[in-house]
Amino acid sequence: MAEPAVPRSAAVPVTVLTGYLGAGKTTLLNRILTERHGRRYAVVINEFGELGVDNDLVVESDEEVFEMNNGCICCTVRGDLIRIVGGLMKRRDKFDGIIIETTGLANPAPVAQTFFVDEGVRQKTRLDAIVTVVDAKHLPERLEDSHEAADQIAFADVIVLNKTDLVSPEELEAVEERIRAINRFARIHRTERAALPIADVLDQSAFDLERVLAETPDFLTDDAHEHNDDVTSVSFELAQPIDPERFNAWISVLLAEKGQDLLRTKGILHYAGEDRRFAFQAVHMIADGAFIGPWKEGETRTSRLVFIGRNLNRPQLRRGFESCQAA
């Protein structure tokens, strides 16, 4: 495939806002838009809520999710976003970033996969972060009701735990624990009325794996996880260099077989004999990888891999990852 037409720095940052109706998505969106940050955003919305959106450049769209004919049963993308990004690029000088608000019940996978699968979108934009707004009071019910609530948390890079004023400190602790159980790698911000510095939401470079993995706490102290339908997350480290061929062979089979359960996979890998770090990420079965900058001088070259999903068989995943070590 051709090289990206624009350097990564020129790629438009895209922030995806997800969360159930009533969680405070639109409130957060309007806070972002009205704060004086000197930036202009193109906003893509899919439902006009009770609150209007206060912005010059608002694109109204129907979420059109379709399957790719590429043999992946779970590879779905947002056709409307492909068109909208293409259209917006014709007036690229009129905005600094794109914010996409999804509907309350949306599964975030198609949005995320769009940024992996469509070459035009990949070349011109970069997914900065998936921000999920959750309602501290109602989240436990939502998690019982539906898969989507857990999926939205699983996909999040940033979680805005909103309406904290409506729950007791104990309830708040409990709900944060539920979130951590699903996704230990997202940053959580507690808010009332979605009030937080927008620097906590925008320009996260959350898909910059280096930063995500560097900031991930207690990497080595995983809990043992039960095998059930709940979304959980696990991570592994390897000190030995990785054999790229073995890794590719293992991860392709793994994603093909378990891709529906694996919501997000991300890692920084130390390939044997390679001075640069290899960044790997996947949404369900759709994977992407590239060399990023070199290892720092004196830095321990440790390979790290994170899985967020359902039915994660921790020992099996560990054995698989360990089998990728270079001989």
* Cα dist from 323 to 111, 250, 257, 284, 303, whole Å: 33, 8, 18, 22, 13
Q: How far is the CB of 90 from another protein (least distance, A)?
A: 4
Q: To which H or E segment does residue 61 belong?
A: none
| Closer residue to another protein (CB): 50 or 93 | 93
CA distance 51 to 25: 10
| Closer residue to another protein (CB): 2 or 327 | 2
Q: How far is the CB of 293 from another protein (least distance, A)?
A: 27
| Closer residue to another protein (CB): 80 or 157 | 80
Q: How far is the CB of 102 from another protein (least distance, A)?
A: 17
Contact 157, 204 (CB under 8 A): yes
| Closer residue to another protein (CB): 35 or 62 | 62
| Closer residue to another protein (CB): 5 or 290 | 5
| Closer residue to another protein (CB): 92 or 227 | 92
CA count, 13 A, side-chain hemisphere, 213: 24
Name the H helices within 163-208. Answer: 169-182
Contact 286, 266 (CB under 8 A): no
Instruction: Quote the tokens at residue 120.
Output: 């035009």
Residue 205, by phi and psi: left (phi above 0), alpha (psi -120 to 50) or beta?
A: left
3-state secondary structure of 17: strand
Q: How far is the CB of 234 from another protein (least distance, A)?
A: 33
Contact 43, 29 (CB under 8 A): yes
Instruction: Provide the binding-site residues for another protein, judged by CB under 8 A.
Output: 1-2, 5, 57-60, 62, 64, 66-70, 77, 79-80, 82-83, 87-93, 118-120
Tell me whether strands 76-78 and 65-67 are parallel, antiparallel or unpaired: antiparallel
| Closer residue to another protein (CB): 83 or 190 | 83
Q: How far is the CB of 66 from another protein (least distance, A)?
A: 5
CA distance 310 to 301: 29
Q: How far is the CB of 45 from another protein (least distance, A)?
A: 10
Quick one: DSSP state of residue 184? Answer: T
Q: How far is the CB of 54 from another protein (least distance, A)?
A: 14
